[in-house]
Amino acid sequence: MNPRALPTVAVLAGDPLTQQGVVAYLRSRPQVEVLDREDSARADVLVVLDTDVTSTTLAEIRRQARESANAEMRIVLVANSITERQLKDVIGHRLVGFLPRRRTGMRQILTAVLDAWAGNACLPAALVRSLIDDLRVMQEAGASPVGFTEREIDIVRLLAEGWTTEEIADKLGYSERTIKNVLHSLNVRLGLRNRAHAVGHGARLGIL
């Protein structure tokens, strides 16, 4: 977890009213520090809100991930829906959360921000399962889990299924600190940014 007392958050919305409303709400909450839009590159968590996920939305997420000055930045996307192809497009670009806009209120956005900062992912279970199924087919076709140890594969697979580090530790019989150390070593060794990036990298290699 980020050593600062509060996570810094930036908001990028597709329309001014949504931008103002979400920023005003988050600034009223003591759990986060809200940055101005132009300071989004410094954010621990970036919230992107749009009505529909378009090519422009995806390009903006990739740009923000590429230009971020914060190596630990995570992105939460709020939109009406996201397809499997779109999820695959941005899962390796710091996206760790997706919220369906019509069923999401301000409190859910705040919770997603805090979860993202804590290193947890919040992605649609059906889409994650579909992604995992597709990549298992790739594995059967001969994809190689280059760079992962057997223990790392077990941990990344459970992360992809939405398990927390505490739950993974209990299941595999390790301490939670050991699980975190394994993930940290994996990220450093392979040049990955965070847990979501590790899952995305594992997905591309077909180990899930």
Token duo for residue 152: 């790392």
Highest mean pLDDT among 164-168, 183-187, 203-207: 164-168
Query: Which tens digits make up the pLDDT trace of 63-87?
Result: 999 899 998 899 999 999 988 778 8
Residues 122-133: what's their mean pLDDT?
68
3-state secondary structure of 98: strand
Q: How far apart, in whole angstroms, are the C-alpha atoms of residue 74 and residue 116?
A: 6
Lowest pLDDT segment from 58-62, 173-177, 185-189: 185-189
Q: How far apart, in whole angstroms, are the C-alpha atoms of residue 134 and residue 40?
A: 34
Close Cβ partners of 4 (under 8 Å, ≥ 6 residues apart) = 44
Considering the entire predicted model, what is its pTM?
Answer: 0.63
Distances (CA, A) of 118 to 24, 30, 44, 72, 141: 23, 16, 10, 11, 35
Q: How far apart, in whole angstroms, are the C-alpha atoms of residue 106 and residue 156?
A: 30
Residues 150-176: what's their mean pLDDT?
88
Q: Are 183 and 154 in contact (CB under 8 A)?
A: no
Query: Which tens digits make up the pLDDT trace of 14-43?
Result: 899 999 999 999 999 999 999 999 999 999
